[in-house]
Amino acid sequence: MEQTSAGRVKVRFRLARDSDGWPPVESEGVWAKPCGGAEYELDNVPWFARGVAFGDRVHAEPDQDGVLWVTERLAWSGRYTVRVIPLGEGASQPQLRDIIDAFVPLGAECEGGLPAFKIVALDIPPDARLAEIKSVLRRGEADGLWGYDEGCIDDSWSAL
């Protein structure tokens, strides 16, 4: 079991690829805080796992090698996960910086995936400027700057 000095552990999500081969990995490890028993609180924003967000509580069981595999989400934190994938052949670092600069002022936390992945994961708390974030997402997609994936949302987000 992978663990940090802060007591965090890695929990893993099994991922199913779509017909386009997305996501580019078969599983994803996310840092989590042990909450007792087989319950863990996610402690970073997932890049690829769907239906989960930073702060969610999950159930995870170890396999024979001690790897903790998530089996279900137990409680939603109220946060949203949206992934932004820059389009085109531009330099990756400036593209990711532009995305981060667009969303941080609106209340989103951002985590870039470089060097492994050209992606920015947005961790959006419920008190962020949700309508503005969604508007910027749509505008950037319409302008051909990026595509985006709504990894963990609710009906309130969908209604915006």
* pLDDT, position 2: 63
* pLDDT, position 22: 86
Q: How much is the CA Rg of the chain, to the nearest whole Å?
A: 16
Walking along the chain (160 residues) 10 residues at a time, the average pLDDT comes out as 76 94 93 97 95 98 97 98 90 89 98 89 97 98 96 95
The domain ranges of the chain are 9-75, 80-158
Distances from the Cα of 84 to the Cαs of 4, 39, 44, 46, 146, in angstroms? 28, 29, 16, 12, 6
pTM of the model: 0.92
**Which residues, listed in sequence order, are joined to residue 29 by a DSSP beta bridge?**
12
Residue 122: CA atoms inside 13 Å, Cβ hemisphere, count?
33
Closest to 70 measured CA to CA, from 53, 57, 79:
57
Architecture per CATH, 80-158? 2-Layer Sandwich (3.30)
* pLDDT, position 3: 63
pLDDT tens string 119-154 = 999 999 999 999 999 999 999 999 999 999 999 999
